[in-house]
Amino acid sequence: MRGLRDKVALVTGAASGIGRATAIRLAEEGALVVAADRNLPGAEETRGMLARQGLALRFDAADAAQCAALAEAALAWQGRIDILANIAGIGGFGHVTDTSEETWRSLVDINLGSVFHLSKFALPHLAAVKGNIVNVASAAGLVGTPYAVAYAASKHGVVGLTTSIAVEYASRGVRVNAVCPGSVDTPLIAGGFSMIDGIEEKLLDHLRPKLGPIATPEDIAASIAFLASDEARFITGALLSVDGGQVAG
């Protein structure tokens, strides 16, 4: 993909799943990757898998000050940030009335708050190099998703944040896009809806991908790399479904 060579990419959630696959793919395309996660050993393991020089950093996405410190540390590494891939996130499934305040708070803080904080701190540096942001939202950010009220609300928030910053920063040459995966084979969905008692199975029918059972993390990483590259130079504010046709109908 054009335009990724020697670009500095800050990838959150890089210790596992989609974040790890994205760090690996971006490095294969020639980028220099900062692999950030609250799981530092996992991020360091990812760094060891990269085709190019990389840096592993620990941060807690739920903490605004740690998001600011991460952006500063990533900037200090090579003196620039070209790509911010906001991938860190957690899952959370259950009936609305069983969703605790703590679950609500951590889903919103981690899945949505971190995308706001990291974008806010990285945007001046991205504008300096006409860089871009790729957020990982979800099919649950586009359509109603039963038994996932806090998760779906956080991902709808990521969608609104993506399109809003895309419009605000277009004249400064910063592109902002989101990938919206359906089900992806990672630890985040282990157990999933099967762990919840008393669900109406038919309400889940619209969540099944038409193309096959499940995507791989590499399927999502390929779309993130595309949106981050110059191949997507005229794409901003896009919500790219990578869900095997799940939300198409």
Ligand X SMILES: NC(=O)c1ccc[n+]([C@@H]2O[C@H](COP(=O)([O-])OP(=O)(O)OC[C@H]3O[C@@H](n4cnc5c(N)ncnc54)[C@H](O)[C@@H]3O)[C@@H](O)[C@H]2O)c1
Looking at 59, 93, 151, 226, which residue is catalytic? 151
The least CB distance from residue 229 to ligand X, in Å, is: 20
Start-to-end Cα distance in the chain: 31
User: CA 147 to CA 160: how far, in whole Å?
Assistant: 21
Pairwise CA distance, residues 188 & 51, whole Å = 26
- Smaller CB distance to ligand X: residue 3 or 192? 192
What minimum distance in Å lies between the beta carbon of 77 and ligand X?
18
Task: Please state, in angstroms and rounded to a whole number, the distance separating the CA atoms of residues 82 and 33.
Answer: 10
Q: How far is the CB of 58 from ligand X (least distance, A)?
A: 8
The helices-and-strands tally (H runs, E runs) of the chain is 7, 7
8 Å CB contact between 154 and 161: no
- Judged by the rule CB under 6 A, the positions of this chain that interact with ligand X are 13, 15-19, 37-39, 42, 59-62, 87-90, 110-111, 136, 138, 181, 183-184, 186-189, 217
Nearer residue to ligand X within complex by CB, 128 or 189: 189
Instruction: Provide, rounded to whole angstroms, the least separation between the CB of residue 187 and ligand X.
Output: 4
Pick between residue 63 and residue 128 the one whose CB is nearest to ligand X. 63
Q: In sequence order, what are the beta bridge partners of 10?
A: 34, 84
Q: How many whole angstroms separate alpha carbon 245 and alpha carbon 220?
A: 14
Q: Give phi and psi for 4, each to the nearest 5.
A: -105, -15
Residue closer to ligand X by CB (options 188, 235) is 188
Give me 95's structure tokens. 């009936």
Q: Hunting for tokens 């595309």 — which residue is that?
A: 226
Indicate left, alpha or beta for 191 from its phi (over 0: left) and psi (-120 to 50: alpha).
left
Q: Nearest approach, Cβ of 108 to ligand X (angstroms)?
A: 12
Nearest CB to ligand X, comparing residues 103 and 173: 103
Residue 169 annotated among the catalytic residues of the structure: no
Active site residues: 151
